[in-house]
């Protein structure tokens, strides 16, 4: 009867809320304990990115760069060139938003082992408004060769992800939101960069989701009996897992807190159009900027809730 | 002094190679590479602690070329120093070459970082100097910069950070040749007073004649004796140095010589080389 992956919590409704960014902050401290080469750099947002946890533990391995994101990226490249494993953090809107070329040339083209953490990603940043709501970061990072692109679904996954990112050799971008979100994975839930996980077995439609909206996808699946894939690695995409599921279901809905253009939805569409074109809908922000509001109000207004996923599935079933 | 004389011969040979490389490439920058031949010679044949046979040696001094467009002079110098065969120089900018139009770290030994987009090199040099200092290691970091890239905001982000961190193991050398693509630097975007700007950012500044090899070496030695600050060596150079019709001409910033121009340039350089050698003897 239970189609939900048995490593997730039993009752989705009882999920507690926790900050994904705390998972990053705690994971970074653990990574720093495991490996002395791990260093951290921040551009005047140390508390809100939770890099403060690392700064407080390893003062001598933390560098405050100031409001200078271009420098942040290239200094990290230099540190990696002499053997360090630098993590850089800022809001996704500023890094990679403002320093894309530095990331492309000095980190990715150089193939330096730099880890880029984009905090406050997505529309749920809330009252700060559109200038601070990164909705294009996955698109711009996905286009860069050598770059791995990740988006954790909850606190637990962010912690595991941060440790895995430190172990991975090469440039990585990972992004996470500001708000506390439901914790529905557990310490037992498997995590491997590059491997998507089937979080719920279902039929008729596959939902490929990333980030905290995986939770909304699971809620939607309770109503629609959809199969749900947690696609935390947007690049390189786990083609095998997605194609296998789609072969079974024949329909796809993607879900992400990002523009539908260039993000996970585009990545999945690219995969399917070349391998197994099937009817598809993309749930995400539809080519518009965000605005000021409470996180929940914004998720409602921009159509990123379980009910919107259900609507997209119904649309597919009619057509 | 004797040593410097022989280095002048090396610098002149590098200039001859530059003209031949640029002629074969049919594109690329002429003025900057010619103007920096003496600085490169001073670094790779006197100042640096390096081993061309072991380009990845952990304890080597590092040269970060920030203004990647003058890479022909980096390539020619690396080849003369023994990093790769001189015969490869004429593959510059050709399909499949390790001598990319702008340097790429992953393909050519001796290239510490890929560069081209201006204003990013000093940041990387700061990262290297900081990382080595964290590990209490000795290697020195040299960052070669153009004057044109002083226009870039990121340059000053890095200048500020190096000052804050008091990176004693970082020496930058600025090619002060007064030209950039759109014309003279002071017309495009006035840079002066450069010395005072760097001093205000907590750097030590040394000015040298960028064509006096012993003066360049002496300044690098002096920089090593300053323990509390990063050092900027402003090297006053003549763009196109050694080829009379290219000297001080912004129009030679971004183009290669044609066959007739290259012949003329090589004739001048060979005559000059002969003079240096006869003085030396």
Flag the least confident range among A25-29, B102-106, B253-257: B253-257
> What rounded mean pLDDT belongs to chain A?
97
Q: B127-168, pLDDT tens digit by residue?
A: 999 999 999 999 999 999 999 999 999 999 999 999 999 999
Q: Where are the domains of chain A?
A: 19-182, 184-318
Q: How far is A70 from chain B (nearest CA, A)?
A: 6
Minimum Cα–Cα distance from B155: chain A residue:
A71
Residue B193 preceded by cis peptide, ω within 30: yes
The answer to whether B117 contacts A86, with C-beta atoms less than 8 Å apart, is no
- List the one residue out of A166, A202, A177, A196 whose CA is nearest residue A85: A166
Beta-carbon separation of A75 and B112 below 8 A: no
- B interface with A, Cβ–Cβ below 8 Å: 62, 64, 104-106, 112-117, 119-120, 123-132, 134-135, 153-154, 157-158, 160-161, 165
- Give the helix ranges, DSSP H, for chain B: 2-25, 31-35, 37-42, 71-81, 121-134, 153-165, 185-188, 194-200, 213-224, 259-280
Write the DSSP assignment of A48-101 as a string of letters. TTTTHHHHHH-GGGEEE--S-HHHHHHHHHHHHHTT-EEEEEEETTTTTTT-HH
Contacts of A76 in chain B (CB under 8 A): 127
Residue B278 has pLDDT above 70, yes or no: yes
In the three-class reduction of DSSP (H, G, I as helix; E, B as strand; rest coil), residue B78 is classed as helix
Separation between Cα atoms, residue A217 and residue A229, nearest integer Å: 9
Predicted confidence (pLDDT) at residue B279 exceeds the cutoff of 90: no
Superfamily of domain A19-182: Thiamin diphosphate (ThDP)-binding fold, Pyr/PP domains (3.40.50.970)
- pLDDT-derived band at B55 (thresholds 50, 70, 90) equals very high
Give the count of domains, chain B: 1
Tens of pLDDT, residue by residue over A116-168, are: 999 999 999 999 999 999 999 999 999 999 999 999 999 999 999 999 999 99
In chain A, which residues have their Cβ closer than 8 Å to the Cβ of B113? 77-78, 81, 106, 110
How far is Cα B190 from Cα B202, in angstroms, rounded to an integer? Answer: 21
pLDDT digits (tens, 9 = 90+) for B230-260: 999 999 999 999 999 999 988 998 899 999 9
The answer to whether the Cβ–Cβ distance between A60 and B134 falls below 8 Å is yes
Domain assignment of residue B226, given as a range:
2-280
Nearest Cβ partner for A81 among B120, B124, B165: B124
Could you give the CA distance from residue A37 to residue A53 in angstroms, rounded to a whole number? 17
Round to whole Å and give the CA distance between A238 and A271. 10
Contact status, residue B247 vs residue B238, Cβ threshold 8 Å: yes
| pLDDT tens digits, B113-128 | 999 999 999 999 999 9
The stretch A172-181 carries a mean pLDDT of: 97
pLDDT for B1 beyond 70: no
Q: Nearest chain B Cα to A76, which residue?
A: B127
- Condensed to tens digits (0 to 9), the pLDDT of residues B6-16 reads 999 999 999 99
Q: At A265, list the tokens.
A: 């939805």
Which tokens belong to A191? 């995590």
Average pLDDT value over all residues in chain B: 95
Q: What is the pLDDT of residue B94?
A: 95
Q: How far is B235 from chain A (nearest CA, A)?
A: 24
Q: What is the pLDDT of residues A232-284, one digit of tens each?
A: 999 999 999 999 999 999 999 999 999 999 999 999 999 999 999 999 999 99
Q: Give the number of other CB atoms < 10 A from CB of residue A311.
A: 16
Is B127 close to A82, i.e. CB distance below 8 A?
Answer: yes
Q: Which two tokens stand for residue B114?
A: 């890929």
Q: Which residues of A touch B112 (CB under 8 A)?
A: 81
| Annotation marks residue A300 as catalytic | no
* CATH class assigned to A184-318: alpha beta
Is the pLDDT at B4 greater than 60? The verdict is no
Q: Do B120 and A106 touch (CB under 8 A)?
A: yes
| pLDDT (0 to 100) of residue A318 | 79
As for the ipTM of the complex, it is 0.96
Is residue B90 predicted with pLDDT exceeding 50?
yes
Residue environment code for A7-37, b if the CB has 16+ CB neighbours within 10 A, otherwise e: ebbeebeebeebbbbbbbbbbbbbbbeeeeb
Percentage of chain A exceeding pLDDT 70: 99
Mean pLDDT within A40-57:
98
Query: What pTM does this model have?
Result: 0.96
Instruction: Report, as an integer, the average pLDDT of A303-314.
Output: 98
The CATH number of the domain holding residue B232 is 3.40.50.970
Phi/psi for A181 (5° steps) reads -130, 160
CB-based contact A78 B130, cutoff 8 Å: yes
């Amino acid at each position: 009867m239970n189609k939900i992956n048995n490593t997730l919590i039993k009752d989705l409704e009882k999920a507690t809320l926790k900050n994904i960014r705390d998972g990053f902050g705690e994971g970074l401290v653990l990574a720093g304990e495991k490996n002395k080469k791990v260093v951290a750099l921040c551009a005047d947002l140390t508390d809100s990115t939770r890099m403060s946890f690392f700064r407080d533990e390893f003062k001598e391995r933390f560098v405050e760069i100031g409001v200078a994101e271009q420098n942040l990226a290239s200094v990290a490249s230099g540190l990696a060139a002499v053997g360090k494993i630098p993590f850089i953090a800022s809001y996704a809107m500023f890094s990679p938003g403002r320093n894309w070329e530095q990331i492309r040339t000095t980190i990715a083209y150089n193939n330096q082992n730099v880890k880029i953490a984009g905090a406050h990603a997505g529309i749920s940043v809330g009252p700060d408004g559109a200038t601070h709501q990164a909705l294009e970061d996955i698109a711009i990072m996905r286009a860069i060769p050598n770059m791995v692109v990740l988006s954790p679904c909850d606190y637990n996954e962010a912690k595991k992800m941060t440790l895995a990112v430190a172990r991975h050799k090469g440039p990585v971008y990972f992004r996470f939101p500001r708000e506390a979100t439901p914790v529905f994975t557990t310490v037992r839930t498997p995590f491997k960069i590059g491997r998507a996980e089937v979080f719920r077995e279902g039929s008729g439609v596959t939902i490929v989701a990333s980030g905290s909206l995986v939770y909304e996808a699971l809620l939607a699946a309770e109503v629609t009996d959809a199969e749900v894939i947690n696609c935390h690695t947007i690049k390189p995409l786990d083609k095998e897992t997605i194609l296998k599921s789609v072969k079974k279901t024949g329909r796809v809905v993607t879900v992400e807190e990002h523009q539908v253009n260039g993000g996970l939805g585009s990545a999945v569409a690219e995969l399917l159009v070349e391998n197994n074109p099937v009817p598809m809908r993309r749930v995400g922000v539809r080519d518009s900027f965000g605005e000021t509001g409470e996180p929940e109000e914004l998720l409602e207004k921009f159509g990123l809730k379980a009910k919107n996923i259900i609507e997209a599935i119904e649309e597919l079933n009619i057509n | 002094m004797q040593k410097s004389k022989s280095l002048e011969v090396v610098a002149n040979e590098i200039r001859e190679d530059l003209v031949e490389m640029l002629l074969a490439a049919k594109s690329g920058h002429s003025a900057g590479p010619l103007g920096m031949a003496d600085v490169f010679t001073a670094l790779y044949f006197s100042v640096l602690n390096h081993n061309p046979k072991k380009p990845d040696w952990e304890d080597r001094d590092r040269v970060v070329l920030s203004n990647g467009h003058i890479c022909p002079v980096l390539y020619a110098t690396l080849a003369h120093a023994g990093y790769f065969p001189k015969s490869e120089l004429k593959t510059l900018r050709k399909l499949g070459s390790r001598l990319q139009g702008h340097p790429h770290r992953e393909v050519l030994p001796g290239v510490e970082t890929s560069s081209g987009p201006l204003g990013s090199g000093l940041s990387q040099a700061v990262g290297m100097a900081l990382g080595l200092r964290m590990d209490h290691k000795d290697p020195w970091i040299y960052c070669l910069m153009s004057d044109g890239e002083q226009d870039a905001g990121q340059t000053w982000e890095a200048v500020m950070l190096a000052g804050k961190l008091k990176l004693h193991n970082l020496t930058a050398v600025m090619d002060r040749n007064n030209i950039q693509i759109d014309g003279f630097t002071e017309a495009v975007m006035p840079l002066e007073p450069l010395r005072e700007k760097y001093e205000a950012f907590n750097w030590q500044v040394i000015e040298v004649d960028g064509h006096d090899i012993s003066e360049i070496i002496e300044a690098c030695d002096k920089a090593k004796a300053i323990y509390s600050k990063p050092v900027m060596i402003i090297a006053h150079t003549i763009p196109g140095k050694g080829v009379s019709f290219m000297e001080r001409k912004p129009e030679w910033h971004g183009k290669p010589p044609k066959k007739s121009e290259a012949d003329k340039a090589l004739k001048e350089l060979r005559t000059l080389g002969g003079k240096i050698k006869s003085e030396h003897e």
